[in-house]
Amino acid sequence: MTEPREFAPGTFCWAELAASDQAAAKQFYHQLFGWETSDSPIGEGQTYTMLRVRGKDVGGLHQQDPRQRNQGVPAHWLSYVSVDNADDAAKKAAALGGTLIASPFDVMDVGRMAVVTDPTGATFALWQRRRHNGYGIVGEPGAVCWNELLTRDTAPATHFYTNLFGWRTEVMSMPGGPYTLFINRDMQAGGMMKMPPHAGQAPPHWLVYFSVEDCDGRVAATRQLSGNALVPPTDVPGVGRFAVLQDPQGAVFGILRAAA
């Protein structure tokens, strides 16, 4: 368990769910992870839900923009990376071949952000903190423990992220093929692998993983709650036991019971 005081630039610092039914999503994840929730108004009759474990922030939840739904974008999790300056980072991302989905803008007084799609098609957010730092806790059951890029072309992704965030890489052999670790200031920032065959036509994406104590139990609970297991509980030597799940609204996320 870790309670970070701040996130160094280049560190994943937040995860946020855009749900097609905010109330139903709150109920699903409360039953699955025991998350506490707290709603705050964000204008035009909308609210932003803070998701918490033991009173510590582990992520956010909001109603998906109807325009996205009309364009066929399913409910989804969005991973945020901490930066010193969102405007500078956004310009750099664009210069490296990324696409700005949302140019830098202020989120009230809590921070400044931008949304970027990398050259391979995976979307993430940049976060310049002001009043809101990010996660209040990481690694504990119910909290985020890993971020993983699944893409069909790892070479341009490597070039993009190493130049944008200053990450270095380490490639290791895994049962499913080569796995790239992104290292930020001597700390593991996340991982990358080629899109596995079972992903079908799924677009490249950053997959957020939540720590659990019982991987099989959470998979069974997901199914009971009308969710789906895209990847059943699977052991990875030296890493732990993981599964990839889909909530009833279509948002995909991972769970991991880490090895000792």
List the CATH number of the domain containing 3: 3.10.180.10
Burial readout 196-224 (b: 16 or more C-beta within 10 A, e: otherwise): eeebeeeebbbbbbbbbeebeebbebbee
Task: Give the total number of structural domains in the chain.
Answer: 1
User: Could you read off the pLDDT tens digit of each residue along the chain, which spans 260 residues?
Assistant: 566 668 999 999 999 999 999 999 999 999 999 999 999 998 888 999 999 999 999 999 999 988 877 777 889 999 999 999 999 999 999 999 999 999 999 998 999 999 999 999 999 999 999 989 999 999 999 999 999 999 999 999 999 999 999 999 999 988 778 999 999 999 999 999 999 877 778 899 999 999 999 999 999 999 999 999 999 999 998 899 999 999 999 999 999 999 97
What is each CA distance from 204 to 4, 119, 195, in whole angstroms?
Answer: 29, 10, 7
For residue 22, the 8-state DSSP code is H
In this structure, how many other beta carbons lie within 10 angstroms of the beta carbon of residue 3? 12
Which range marks the domain in which residue 54 is found? 1-260
